[in-house]
Structure 1
Amino acid sequence: MKSQMEIILEHARNICLALPEAMEHIDGFGHTTFQVNGKSFVRLSERTGLSFKSDLETQEWLLQKEQFLKTPYIGRHGWVSIQSPSDEDWAELKELIQEAYLRAAPKRLVKEWIKLHKVN
């Protein structure tokens, strides 16, 4: 049976590695991170679960929901964490992770993403 972190990592991999030029990386603290152009947009750790880059406005909104918390040390930069996402949380998390990716991605990838996902 898979551990909670293995399940979170599997979901995160499926979402993150589907994004253009996203890469998986183990950082200096042993955390699995997902990066684009050398910039992290998602990180996983036993202590905080799944963390993702956000803006301060979105962070404030998410912190009003009980399952989200401000990521220690980097929360002041907008990072948000969810310790144990439920199956129902993953649809919203996919959108939040894609937004995190767009915050970290270079402009050319953001333009490419917008062109591909433009609603007609």
Structure 2
Amino acid sequence: MTIIDAVFLFVAGFLSGVVNAIAGGGTFLTFGAMTLTGLPPIVASATSAITQFPGYVTSTLAYAREIREDKREAMVLGALSLVGGLIGALILVSMSNAAFRVLVPWLILGATLV
């Protein structure tokens, strides 16, 4: 990795945090930056997801009161997210990097539409 790659990834990570603090979607930046620096798409996807995790935890803590007020809906959404995440992770680890690379634009389009 060159110093330019490191600076590029640092800037992408910083901007990802800014985007997530405002509206979400910072993973688009980190995933894209990592693939541009040469990481395989599956590694970039998994790394990007893990790097976003602390932000998800702090957001949950920041909105704890609101989550408690809508506990039933939060539990349903949490369960659906857990099942969807598990299914997605199992599909991801069963794919090759080449197959995932073909699927990525469609996943991004789907996420954008949602």
TM bucket by the smaller chain? under 0.3
Normalising by structure 2, report the TM-score: 0.26
Report the structure, 1 or 2, having the larger helix content.
2
Bigger strand fraction: 1
Q: Larger relative contact order (C-alpha < 8 A, sep ≥ 6)?
A: 1
